[in-house]
Amino acid sequence: MESVPNQTDNNPQALLSLLHSQRQTLTAQRQQIKTQHLEIQSQSERIEALEQQLDWFKRQVFGRKSERIVLPGQGELFEAAAPEDFPPAQEHIEQISYARRKPKRNPLPKDLPRERIELDVEAGEKVCPCCAGERRRIG
């Protein structure tokens, strides 16, 4: 950019040429700002689309199974209908008149051979390490 002439330079042609060159510079800068603004707006829209896509992928990978298939705008279905639009629900209490039977395990047959195996520990392990008393038999 050219320097501003001092007050001693009163040449009107030089001042007009300086003014014209500054207008051209200003116009070029405005055009550059406009293109940069459009580019920033385009990139912002792209970032927003990618963030939505990333959220969807996160929901698919890490979300609960019931949350995986969520369509955009699906949560807004019930916002439109206010509770006063619906008639009041009538309470219906159901009486259960039967008793459930718990499943029983059938006992083993009597003729099945049974064998009793007793395992004994060494005398040193029969003493309790914390109170030095004798451990009792379980089972």
In the prediction, which pLDDT does 118 show?
Answer: 83
* Confidence tier at 36 by pLDDT (50, 70, 90): very high
Question: What is the three-state SS of 106-129?
Answer: CCCCCCCCCCCCCCCCCHHHHECC
Higher pLDDT pick, 74 / 1:
74
To which residue do tokens 């004798």 refer?
134
Mean pLDDT over each residue of the chain, to the nearest integer: 82
| Residue closest to 74 by CA, chosen among 88, 48, 56, 51 | 56
Express as a percent the part of the chain with pLDDT over 90: 31
Higher pLDDT pick, 101 / 30:
30
